[in-house]
Chain A
């Protein structure tokens, strides 16, 4: 029997950044079995994930995650197909929790020891940014937007919450200090830019890292300053298009949820790759090297 390697991955991001929907799509990809990671047996605690999958299969994004601090653990043995290492069994644990937990941690400057321990024992993390999220908060832009100089500021000053760029940079600071601290593995951080399908057509061939540089300069700069983390950026679409548009929803329902969706990333040689394997961000985060362009 092949020895099972233990890995855990934490999903981090504000609310409405697509963590739970990605988890559902990840499970579909694992079960489909044609990606880097696959699964043969149902993992434990599958009911939570199955409820997310049912939403997707009915043409809807998963509902808001329950707002308590208790993680829903997605845990099971997957087979990892790594080009040079062959196949190996990997026990992965993916705790999902509502995004407000991380936002609250950032605002209140404290996190429970339970979650700190999870992060320190994790081998990797996925940090989510979602295009088009209504909960995205901009930094007040009166310096760089002359037009804003003459605009009423009251709505902006009344805006509550930490600007998204600040939050993301803060999370990277937290992970750079704590991710994988209790393991012997070099920690890896997958930045997941979710809902890539919402980009205008002329931008969809952009590199995900270039998108970050243009839209999240603080985060982009921070990623070039990591002490301990290896970082990779993945753009994802879990459904291949926007289910809020009738046309795509009709198409999606005629197809199959485990067939639609894609991941865009740069391989080790810097070449842009677009693949249908939604396990890629997790595979990389747990230490598996991604295939390069043929």
Chain B
């Protein structure tokens, strides 16, 4: 049987040569190699969180490795650069430390928009302390940014920034990858974000936990989205707060995160607020305290129509708050510690009591 390899871009099956420089017979990327069946998300403390692998077919977006001899192809396939499945995340994680930032939130709360905004900000070097290094989802991010605007016939921007997220397989998550250099960490870090439809969060709230959310337990930080425009709407705000509180309850009972994994409640559409709805935010914080969750609220605007609120408002702070420096490395002189927040930045952030 022909030896096959699951590493994107490797032609070992036809050339016998491993692009990673390994002995093809013993390369861990080789299909059938030991340990392939667990998803290992490794952070820079070498603490592994093993997630039980799911017996699934490789999705169409991944390069499928044939298991039988195949004719020699005339063309070499490049890595697709699209959304990544769990197997692709596994491959990245086996090669270098990886941090997953979990994302939950109802439909139309701005989950995808923030990732698109992050990508475009990086593409224009608009972030002061975070720099792009690479992405294995380059084309997926480009596609999302191109499909990012809905306009009416008069050319006026509609409320929906990005197309509604849907998955090729409605039960399997797709991930977006960023490799960035963060001043806070003093080095580059690989981040993956699940791009999930809001219905997954609705189902979590309404129907309870489902095993296909197991990957969330490996998250090194968790973003819980709230549509900020709902919090300032008298008709919608009570339901928005209620749903968020229930979601925090599900997280507390069903998604045991690492002790130092921050939970960020991301309140979107900051530009639509004349005043920050502090009373509504307090209700959310009260629930976080009751659940003993280490929650911080950050207000963001993926795109802004308001003077004084810039496009991407709060995104850099959100990302930095998600990058936790391991305790044993806080004495490392090479690690830059965050500066004390300025008064204006304090308005962005509300912090509950830590665990």
How long is the Cα–Cα vector from A109 to B11 in the complex, in angstroms?
Answer: 15
Taking residues whose C-beta sits less than 8 angstroms from the other chain, chain B's interface range is 35 or more
CB of B120 within 8 A of CB of A110, answer no
Q: Is the CB of A214 within 8 A of B155?
A: no
Count of CB-CB pairs between chains A and B under 8 Å:
123
Asked if B188 is at the interface of the complex by the 8 Å CB criterion, the answer is yes
**B75's closest neighbor in chain A, by CB?**
A110
Could you tell me if B305 and A218 are in contact, using CB atoms closer than 8 angstroms? no
> What 1/0 mask marks residues of chain B from 103 to 142 whose CB sits below 8 Å from any chain A CB?
0000000000000110011111110000111110011001
Tell me whether A141 and B124 are in contact (CB under 8 A): yes
**Is the beta-carbon distance between A169 and B138 smaller than 8 angstroms?**
yes
Any chain A CB within 8 A of the CB of B49? no
Q: A71: CB under 8 A from chain B?
A: no
Q: Which residues of A contact B (CB under 8 A)?
A: 105-106, 109-113, 116, 139-144, 146, 149-154, 157, 162-163, 165-166, 169-170, 173-174, 177-178, 181-182, 213-214, 217-218, 220-222, 224-225
Question: Contacts A149-B157, A213-B125, A221-B122 hold; do A140 and B78 have CB atoms under 8 A apart?
Answer: no
* Shortest Cβ distance from B20 into A: residue: A177
B325 CB, nearest partner CB in chain A, Å = 21
Q: Indicate whether B74 reaches chain A with its CB closer than 8 angstroms.
A: yes
| Residue of A112, A116, A163, A177 with highest tally of chain B CB at under 10 A | A177
A111 contacts which chain B residues (CB < 8 A)? 75-76, 78
Q: Given A169-B138, A221-B122, does the pair A142, B76 have CB atoms closer than 8 Å?
A: no
Residues from chain A with a CB closer than 8 A to the CB of B73 are 113
Contact between A218 and B181, CB atoms less than 8 A apart: no
Complex interface: chain A residues within 8 A of B191 (CB): none
- Nearest to A219 among chain B residues (CB) is B132
What is the chain B residue whose CB lies nearest that of A157?
Answer: B146
CB-CB < 8 A to B19: which residues of A?
A: 177-178, 181
Choose from B78, B120, B149 the contact partner of A105 (Cβ within 8 Å). Answer: B78
> In the complex the two chains form, is B132's CB within 8 Å of A217's CB?
yes
Which of B123, B133, B188 touches A139 (beta carbons < 8 Å)?
Answer: B123
From A139, A170, A182, contact of B120 by CB (8 A): A139
Identify which of A105, A150, A166 contacts B142 (C-beta below 8 A).
A166
Interchain CA distance A110-B74 in the complex, whole Å: 10
* CB-CB nearest in chain A for B131: A221
> In the bound complex, how far is the Cα of B135 from the Cα of A110, in angstroms?
18
A172 vs chain B, min Cβ distance (A): 9
A157–B142 alpha-carbon span in the complex (Å): 12
Interface centre among B125, B157, B179, B181 (most CB of A within 10 A): B125
Q: Which residue of A is nearest B127, CB measured?
A: A217
B9 at the interface (CB under 8 A from A): yes
Q: What's the Cα separation between A170 and B145 when bound, in Å?
A: 17
Which residues of chain B have C-beta atoms less than 8 A from A169's C-beta? 134-135, 138
Chain A neighbourhood of B117, CB < 8 A = 143
Do A157 and B149 form a contact, CB below 8 Å, given A111-B76, A144-B311, A181-B17?
yes
Q: CA separation between A177 and B76, bound complex, in Å?
A: 13
